Amino acid sequence: MNKWAQQVDEIRRLWLYRQPVVYLPLSATIAEQAGKKYLMLASNSYLGLTHHPAVRQAAIEAVQAYGAGSGGARLTTGTHPLYPALEKDLAAFKQREAALVFNTGYMTNVGVISGLARAGDVIFSDAWNHASIIDGCRLARSETVVYQHGDVEDLRQKLQQTPCSGKRFIITDGVFSMDGDIAPLDRIVPLAEEYDACVIVDDAHATGVIGPGGRGTAAYFGLKGRVQVEIGTLSKALAAEGGFAAGDESLIEILANRARSFIFSTALAPATVAAAHAALRQLIAEPEMVDRLRENAIYLRSKLAAAGFTALPGDTPIIPVILGREETALDMARALQERGVIVAAIRPPTVPPGSSRLRLTITAEHRQQDLDKAVVAMQEAWSSLKQGGNGV
């Protein structure tokens, strides 16, 4: 057996093996696999716009007008006319001077952090930040100091104790992707101002989700203009793919000239940019979608609690049910699929050992009867596992 096969076997032994699973998405809430339809509670399409007629039509028209691909990088020939229109509207939506679109949310974080932080700077990063933030910190030529998750006093202590000859950066997720909790930005920003630190917020799971009109974490806390860089994604609430950074015009110009993930990537296809722009327009036109999403999140949490499940508190659409053991999370996900419900089983290294979980994600398009069905399936699956004596 070669060394790669041995490593695969070890991953399997630890219940950590992963592989892509093919689903045919039929709507925002229904997917098909092997001819069977399932209720989907594992999608990041928070507003259900992936199948919206206006979004799909925009993509079709972009292909017809501009072709299938961009044909070049953004700084060569890849900036087709759809790009500046989207970036202008993203900046206006986030109430910033300018915005820059990247190919993925991951590439946005990597490019922004490594493009802004220089030698002599110090980055202060939340312990539960997304992997793309962690990798961006690794690529930056700066010291990185990790503070305890959401702990502003620990952040203050580390700001006090860490020498810095350059610029300080504080980086945090806005809504944390695995627990669904919201960063205490209302306390982080005043502290950053006290230490003249640049605040970078990754709103991948907050754009279109929290704040007035879905404008994100800074808007949620009423911090207009006090967060230096607001990062978002086009692949979740905005239904397409890509990421963006929004901020002062001069800062965006720096990123266009320094962010290697922006400079050295072929630009997004016209259909992708058009779809994201159409989704943004739909969000602006129908901000009540954000209210429906929040109402669904509150409803499902209350139903889970009534059924005896402990979901982490909050009102975001990320609803984790902590199970502990990796095999328990996998067994529950399989039992739910047998009952027609798709839920993600999340295991290390995505979450710390001993905190494996089911991660339920809902959309504005789910109906209450969909959520009721999911809770009944959870009860039946849990009862089945207990009767089977698999150690739950």
DSSP 3-state of 129: coil
Which residues lie below 8 Å from residue 290, measured CB to CB, with a gap of 6+? 47, 208, 209, 210, 213, 214, 283, 364
Distance CA(334)–CA(357), nearest Å, equals 13
Two structure tokens written together for 238? 């905005």
**In the chain, which stretches have pLDDT less than 70?**
1, 388-392
Catalytic residue among 43, 132, 177, 356: 177
What kind and span of H or E run contains 102?
Answer: strand 98-102
Catalytic residue among 52, 80, 130, 236: 236
Residue with tokens 């028209």: 61
Decide: pTM greater than 0.85: yes
Domains of the chain: 21-50+287-388 (3.90.1150.10), 70-268 (3.40.640.10)
Concerning whether 167 is annotated as a catalytic residue, the answer is: no
The answer for 257, left when phi > 0, alpha when psi is -120 to 50, beta otherwise, is alpha
Catalytic residue among 205, 277, 303, 366: 205
- No. of H helices and E strands in the chain? 14, 14
Residue with tokens 């397409």: 240
Concerning whether 52 is annotated as a catalytic residue, the answer is: no
Q: Which residues pair with 182 in a beta bridge?
A: 175
Packing angle between helix 270-285 and helix 53-66, nearest 10 degrees? 150
Distance CA(352)–CA(374), nearest Å, equals 26
Which residues lie below 8 Å from residue 80, measured CB to CB, with a gap of 6+? 66, 70, 267, 270, 273
Concerning whether 277 is annotated as a catalytic residue, the answer is: no
Residue 324's pLDDT is 86
